[in-house]
Amino acid sequence: MSTEVDAGLYDYAQRPPRLPNPTNPDNDRLDIDLDTRIEMFEMQQVLRQFEDRVYDLFMQNLVKGTSHLSLGMEAIATGVGKAMRPDDYTFATYRGHAHTIARGGPLGPVLAELLGRDNGILGGKGGSMHLTSVEHGMMGSYAIIGAHLCVANGAAWSAQLRGTDQVAVAFFGDGTTNIGAFHEALNLASTWSLPVVFVCENNLYMEYTPIDLVTATAHPAAGRAPAYDLEQVVIDGNDADEVLATARRALEKARRGQGPSLIEAVTYRHGGHSRADPGKYRPAEEVEAWLAHDPLPTYHQRLLRLGVPEARLSDIVHQVADRVEEATAFAKAGQRPPEHVLMTDVWADGGSSWRN
């Protein structure tokens, strides 16, 4: 059967739209101090403006390879990152720009890495899909779906054996829940009571396929939690306060030695899966509803209700814009890594020769 016929077997745009739930008004009254909320407003602005700039640079052919943006999903990286301690561990997917920055990764070197420049956070050798900054607790972005969940278990087990109260946090997409490594990781983490928090960024689509078309349960992550003796936790992934409050509880539970948690944060990416994907398979009504549930203006309105002056929020937006401009200038000033640098650190011995 031809690809053309295959593609016509199901018109994704005709499926019933998955609409967001309204923002919970009670979240205005969560026990989160105003300074923390302002910091999270700023971080969400950083992540949004950074990813917008990455898109612009990609369209100028300055970002090599592909890139997977998290526009629309900023509240998750912001809220969980704010709840974590500096010595905790983050494991992310190839959609890991936001998680790297939320853990303290510097904008200039992160952007330079995406441009493949020698002043990048990995010397220009990792690129968009492999961001890592051990000094900031960012233990890698992984392109193999679900593989990093088992690695996060290893980090959590290390912390458990060493008697520290560090926690490993693993982020993954909804499609990962249908991968064997997801089930293996949850089973082991629960059996050994590992200090690990699994965070499913459920943006409703596993690449181009709606997750609900290929999954037996309505909540691809939380619906499987009882099988591993875990609580079912589903939250609004577009509300940074709800994310923060939930992450705090899960991290504290892990530090007390009470084992892992699985959080399903429901969100929506504004664009396609990657820059090569226009995302036209999504129902127009669905896209429109989720754009109206954008985490940034929603949070902006909450801070206004809580008494933060519009002028202060506007100042933050402009300050972030200046930081992104500085990061862009820094990144563009870098050079391409020379061949003798590119061909090092390929094998364990530091060389580049094939070894049998």
Q: What is the mean pLDDT of residues 104-115?
A: 98
Structure confidence at residue 5 (pLDDT):
36
**What tokens were used for 182?**
């997801």
Q: For residue range 117-143, what is the model confidence (pLDDT) as tens digits?
A: 999 999 999 999 999 999 999 999 999
pLDDT band at 355 (very low <50, low <70, confident <90, very high): low
Q: Please tell me the distance from the alpha carbon of residue 296 to that of residue 48, in angstroms, as a whole number.
A: 8
Q: What is the pLDDT of residue 212?
A: 93
Under 8 Å between Cβ of 253 and 193: no
Report the C-alpha gap between 287 and 289 in whole angstroms.
Answer: 6
Q: Which two tokens stand for residue 50?
A: 């950074």
Q: For position 203, which CATH number holds?
A: 3.40.50.970
Q: Residue 11 has what pLDDT? A: 64
Q: Average of pLDDT values for 80-103? A: 98
Tokens 């890495």, residue located? 113
Residue 64 vs residues 92, 117, 348: alpha-carbon distances, Å: 20, 10, 26
Write down the pLDDT at residue 10: 60
Q: Which residues of 72-107 are buried (b: 16+ CB within 10 A; e: fewer)?
A: bbbbbbbbbbbbbeeebbbbbbbbbbbbbbbbebeb
pLDDT tens, position by position, 257-272? 999 999 999 999 999 9
Average pLDDT rounded to a whole number, residues 157-163: 98
With contact defined as beta carbons under 8 Å apart, do 198 and 170 qualify? yes
Give the mean pLDDT of the chain.
93
| 255 within a domain of the structure (yes/no) | yes
Query: 2 falls in which pLDDT band (50, 70, 90)?
Result: very low
Taking a C-beta distance cutoff of 8 angstroms, is the pair 155, 168 a contact?
yes
Could you tell me if 50 and 101 are in contact, meaning their C-beta atoms sit under 8 angstroms apart? yes
Q: Is residue 292 scored above 50 in pLDDT?
A: yes
In a domain, residue 341? The reply is no
* Cα-Cα-Cα-Cα dihedral sign, residues 100, 102, 104, 110: positive
Planar angle of CA 50, 200, 320, nearest 5 degrees: 15
pLDDT tens digits along 243-261 = 999 999 999 999 999 999 9
3-state secondary structure of 266: strand
Strands (E), the chain: 89-93, 138-142, 168-173, 196-202, 205-206, 209-210, 233-236, 261-266
Average pLDDT in the 328-332 region?
98
Beta bridge partners of 263: 199, 233
3-class secondary-structure state, position 51: helix
Residue 293's Cβ-side half-sphere holds a number of Cα atoms within 13 Å equal to: 24
Question: Residue 65 — very low, low, confident or very high, per pLDDT cuts 50/70/90?
Answer: confident
Share of the chain above pLDDT 70, in %: 94
The answer to whether residue 200 sits within a structural domain is: yes
Residue-range definition of the domain harbouring residue 321: 66-105+141-325
SS3 of 13, please? Answer: helix
Q: Residue 103: pLDDT band by 50, 70, 90 thresholds? A: very high
Q: Would you state the structure tokens that stand for residue 83, as one six-digit string?
A: 């709840």
Q: Can you tell me the distance from the alpha carbon of 169 to that of 199, in angstroms, rounded to the nearest whole number?
A: 7
Mean pLDDT of the 93-121 span: 97
Q: Is residue 123 part of a domain?
A: no
Helix, strand, coil shares of the chain, percent, nearest 5, are 50, 10, 40
Whole-structure pTM over 0.85, yes or no? yes
List C-alpha distances in Å: 204 to 23, 54, 219: 18, 23, 10
Residue 203: closest CA among 10, 13, 11, 18: 18
Domain count, the chain: 1
Taking Cα atoms as reference points, which of 44, 179, 53, 148 lies closest to residue 98? 44
pLDDT digit string (tens) for 191-233? 999 999 999 999 999 998 999 999 999 999 999 999 999 999 9
In a domain, 18, yes or no: no
